A = this chain, B = another copy of it.
Amino acid sequence: MFQAKIRSDTLKGIVNIISTLVDEAKFNIGPEGLNLKAVDPAHVAMIDLDLKKEAFEEYAADETKIGVDLDKVKDVLKLASSGDIVEMEQDEEKSRLVMKVGNIVRRMNLVDTSSMSDPRVPELNLPALVELSVSEIQKGIKAAESVSDHIALTAEPDYFELYSEGDTDSVNLRLEKSQLISVSADEKARSLFPLDYFSNLVKAVPSDTSVRINLGNNFPVRIMFSLADGNGSVGYLLAPRIESD
């Protein structure tokens, strides 16, 4: 059993972030909230999302799993204005999700979850931690996209840097300690990442969000941030690329 009401903006934010990695998602639902773990088909990135029942306007659920086609949910969200409430109800008999916005009712077949595994989140020892507003990164990404397909993230004790290098041109964005919320790095930590994954995630994060970036040397990066006024949290792991020089 799953029955809930949620603000359309909150649901939009969540769907935008998940759909950077997958088209179909399995939500593990329980009485206190829901969790989603997903890996993209190429196994480059993983998302681990928690949403407490407090993120919803109304929430009632037993333990259940529902598989959802995110494009269909986006279709419904296009009908909602900012501030609208979206109702969701699992129809267990017909294996459907019924979504309501205003007078409109959409009944959608659920996706079979039997073949969808729950990926295990690996434990990683990432020594550097930077916290900053996502809007700072968003500007740097836009600049990087015109020169390269990769982006190097560097944390030093007193700054954080995004650097992209193409065949002829390079772009860098250096944020000094004073422009960051915090930086904690005993020594330099630097890894190279595929720009498209990094960019898709960063663009999906609401622009007033502060993100924490957990970085090592030639190691995956973990990007963490809150959603739904602190009632949701996202951990995003992105695998590194090999730096050739």
Contact = CB atoms under 8 A, between A and B. Distances in A.
Nearest to A102: B139
Contact of A173 (B76, B103, B142, B146): B103
Interface stretch (A34-42, A105-113, A191-199, A211-219): A105-113
B72 A106 contact: no
Chain A interface bracket (under 10, 10 to 19, 20 to 34, 35 or more) = 20 to 34
A79 B143 contact: yes
A172 B104 contact: yes
Main secondary structure of the interface of A (DSSP, over half): mixed
A169 B108 contact: yes
A181 to B, nearest CB: 15
B139 A79 contact: yes
Given A79-B142, A142-B78, A169 B104 contact: no
A147 B106 contact: yes
Contact of A139 (B72, B104, B147, B172): B104
A148 to B, nearest CB: 11
Given A79-B139, A109-B168, A169-B109, A72 B104 contact: no
Nearest to A140: B104
A179 interface: yes
20 contacts: A72-B146, A78-B142, A79-B142, A79-B143, A102-B139, A103-B136, A103-B173, A103-B174, A103-B179, A104-B140, A105-B171, A105-B172, A105-B173, A105-B174, A106-B143, A106-B147, A106-B170, A107-B170, A108-B168, A108-B169
- 3 shortest A-B CB distances, which residue pairs? A109-B168, A75-B146, A108-B169
